Amino acid sequence: MTDFITVADVDQKLGLGWAGTGDAVLAVAMANAWLTAKIKRTVPDPVPDAIVSAGAQVAKLAAAGKLYKDTQREVQSKTVSAQAGTSTSKTYVAGTVERSSGENFALDLIAPWTRRQGTVMLKRV
């Protein structure tokens, strides 16, 4: 995991008390994990302000418990048979999770770093 932001960075962007009753250190660690998972390119040093701003937004969501949400498995179909040698089957749909406005804003801020750089040419040998 890459450390894109620190608690001090988030304090500077959002002001003191941004974590509310949440754990600021854990929220920043979760934000750094989220950014590491999303960013696919090399980030220059010092970290660009857009990434720090995105990290601050994500850390605020993490402190409120809204970043990593539980997903549910929803039953799409269920089959039951009442004859001898019966079998039941269930088909599940992958649970969907809504994104908050803060998460969408952060994704837009880091968009230049989320796409792979350049084009890969393949040659058949």
Residue-wise pLDDT tens digits, 25-83 = 999 999 999 999 888 888 888 899 999 999 999 999 999 988 877 655 565 666 666 67
Residue 86 has pLDDT above 80, yes or no: no
Please state, in angstroms and as integers, the Cα–Cα distance from residue 68 to each residue in 89, 98, 120, following that order.
30, 11, 33
At residue 77, the 3 state secondary structure works out as: strand
**Higher pLDDT, residue 5 or 78:** 5
Angle subtended at Cα 22 by Cα 110 and Cα 48, rounded to the nearest 5 degrees: 20
In the block, which residue shows the tokens 């994104």?
99
Can you give the residue ranges of every domain in the chain?
A: 7-70+100-114
User: Tens digit of pLDDT for each residue in 93-104?
Assistant: 655 566 677 777
